[in-house]
Amino acid sequence: MAQKKEMSGTERRVIEAIVDDNLSEVQALLLEPGLGVDFLDDTGMTPLQHAAFRARREICRFLLASGSDVNSNYHDNGYTALMFAALSGNVEVTRMMLDAGANPDHTNSVGRTAAQMAAFVGQHQCVAAINNFFPSSGLDIYTKPQGLEKEPRLPQHLAPVLVKMINMSNMNPVRIAYFLQDHKEILENSKKVSRVFDTLCEKAMKARDTSDIMALKTHYFATIIRRASKVYEEKQNLDGWIKSLVRGRESDGFPELQDKLIKQSLKEFPYPESELLQQMVHNLANPRLGTHPSAVVLLSQAINGQRYGANEEEDCTTCGQMRAEKKCSACKMVRYCDAYCQKLHWSTHKMFCKDLAVKHQKIQEQKQREHDEEAKHLAEIEAQKRQGEDEELNQKMEDTHIKDKNDAETSTLNGESEAEWNRKVVQDASQLQSLTQATVET
């Protein structure tokens, strides 16, 4: 069993190489005989845990392939590699730990799971990744003939791409359509795939640990795959369908078709008693202001957790991808992943871009006003402070002056009394002397 201890020179260098993200150095150092991949540092952390915490993807991949124990649990506070990955905020590394068999139910020394820890530090994408995780082995039984089956229910080569699809967090139908466009093999096997998804949905609801989330998700994907495959059969591509999903209505640009598609899918969910479904239906029937929350936002929150997608204004307007970097250069009010997403949305956005530009201008002016006011306010405070300091200084100087004067007066007073005393002493002495002399003379 591994022991917590002072690390050897080589061990220390392995950790340093992980910090520097230097994979080849880690590989070279671990060749040292007797070292092993799961040595512990003085807090009980393994190299994999260090690599997970720093989101060193390639090093994590290498350490796991080299047999590192993903559930090593000697850390002082009971943290596992999954917890460190979740704290790092890196979704890919988090999934890698799960795929390597990390136990998501493990708790640290204060009883928190990795998902709870990630939520605590605001890494909501990692929370969603953990809560939604579908293991890469999850489709294995469908890729091999079972019982009397002559052929498997799913062609083997589809499994990895379907696992990737099931692990998606973005529920926007446009994003899912992009995925299907990139993986036409799903559309070409749509009947088999959607049937397997239906089975996964049923299994999730009938399992001992019922998972409404997984059931809802697989059902939703099956709906989209069925719809997309119909289009694909007719047109041999999804371009027109994706355009129609992105298109917004004239009054406010709201994409009605995708909203309808999601609501229809919810209506067809075969488990109407599901609490998660009932909650969503309730929220959809009681829309707050305007079109919010839209069906896609509600679905995404139901599946990924309430805090997921909290910064909606940072998402791609077209496909809902989080933290989109590009903005419309004319109005700076909408974000997109890239030129492709922007181009798709232009026919809708052009109806609002000018107005949004005016709105943006107003917001900027308002911000400028607030900024100026803030600056003015700060300047006033500064001036008051300075005035206060001046006054304080004056007061201090005055106080010092008075004190000096008092000191001087006190010393004068003492001086006088001292002089007086001395005078008296001298007087006394001379009196005494003259007295003595007088006595002698007599």
Of the candidate spans 95-103, 154-162, 304-312, 324-332, the one that interacts with Zn ion by CB under 5 A turns out to be 324-332
Does the footprint of Zn ion cover residue 319 (CB under 5 A)? yes
Nearer to Zn ion, 198 or 338 (CB): 338
**Residue 228 one-letter amino acid:** A
Dihedral, 236, 241, 246, 249 alpha carbons, nearest 10: 150
Q: What is the DSSP string of 203-235?
A: HHHHSSS--HHHHHHHHHHHHHHHHHHHHHHHH
Neighbours of 170 (CB within 10 A): 23
Shortest distance in whole angstroms from residue 269 CB to Zn ion:
27
Dihedral pair phi/psi, residue 113, rounded to 5°: -85, 170
188 versus 338: smaller Cβ distance to Zn ion: 338
Question: Please, what is the angle between helix 91-99 and helix 57-65, to 10°?
Answer: 10
Cα distance between the two ends of the chain: 115
Q: Is 8 left (phi over 0), alpha (psi -120 to 50) or beta?
A: beta
CA distances from residue 429 to 415, 436, 439, 442 in whole angstroms, order as listed: 21, 10, 15, 20
Is 343 or 424 the residue whose CB approaches Zn ion more closely? Answer: 343
Q: Kindly indicate which of the ranges 120-128, 280-288, 326-334, 419-427 contains the residues binding Zn ion, using the contact rule CB under 5 A.
A: 326-334
Smallest gap from residue 327 Cβ to Zn ion (A): 8
What is the Cα–Cα distance from 191 to 238, expressed in whole angstroms?
Answer: 17
161 vs 330, which CB is nearer to Zn ion? 330
Per-residue binding letters, 277-316, with Zn ion (x by CB under 5 A): ---------------------------------------x
Kindly state the helix (H) or strand (E) to which residue 158 belongs, with its residue range: none
Please, what is the minimum distance in Å from the beta carbon of residue 315 to Zn ion?
8
CB atoms under 10 Å from CB of 361, counted, come to 12
Site for Zn ion in 353-412 (CB under 5 A): 353
Cα 350 to chain center, whole Å? 32
Interface positions, 130-189, toward Zn ion (CB under 5 A): none
Type of residue found at 9: G
Span from 93-101, 124-132, 179-187, 328-336 in contact with Zn ion (CB under 5 A)? 328-336
By CB under 5 A, tell whether 321 contacts Zn ion. yes
Closer Cβ to Zn ion, 222 or 328, answer by number: 328
114 versus 331: smaller Cβ distance to Zn ion? 331
Q: Which is nearer to Zn ion, 118 or 331 (CB)?
A: 331
Q: Which of 255, 331, 335, 345 binds Zn ion (CB under 5 A)?
A: 331
Q: Are 28 and 63 in contact (CB under 8 A)?
A: no
Is residue 196 involved in binding Zn ion (CB under 5 A)? no
If 0-12 CB within 10 Å is exposed, 13-18 middle and 19+ buried, where does residue 336 land?
buried
> Which residues make Cβ contacts (< 8 Å) with residue 176, sequence separation at least 6?
165, 168, 170, 221, 224
Which range, of 164-172, 277-285, 286-294, 325-333, touches Zn ion by CB under 5 A? 325-333
How many residues make contact with Zn ion (CB under 5 A)? 10
Q: Which of 139, 162, 328, 344 binds Zn ion (CB under 5 A)?
A: 328
* Shortest Cβ 352–Zn ion spacing (Å): 7
* Encoded tokens for 163: 């696992």
- Indicate the residue type of 197: F
Q: Whose Cβ is closer to Zn ion: residue 343's or residue 396's?
A: 343
CB of 332 to Zn ion, least distance (A): 7
- Residues 160 and 154: beta-carbon distance below 8 Å: no
| Among 49, 72, 123, 318, interactor with Zn ion by CB under 5 A | 318
Per CB under 5 A, 341 contacts Zn ion = yes
Q: Measured from the CB atom, is 218 or 321 closer to Zn ion? A: 321
Residue 317 binds Zn ion, judged by CB under 5 A: no
Stretch of 98-106, 329-337, 373-381, 431-439 lying at the interface with Zn ion (CB under 5 A): 329-337
Question: In whole angstroms, what is the distance from residue 54 CA to residue 141 CA?
Answer: 35
Distance CA 95, CA 130 (A): 7
Nearer to Zn ion, 146 or 329 (CB): 329
The enclosing H or E element of 253 equals none
Q: Which residues of the shown chain bind Zn ion in the complex (CB under 5 A)?
A: 316, 318-319, 321, 328, 330-331, 337, 341, 353
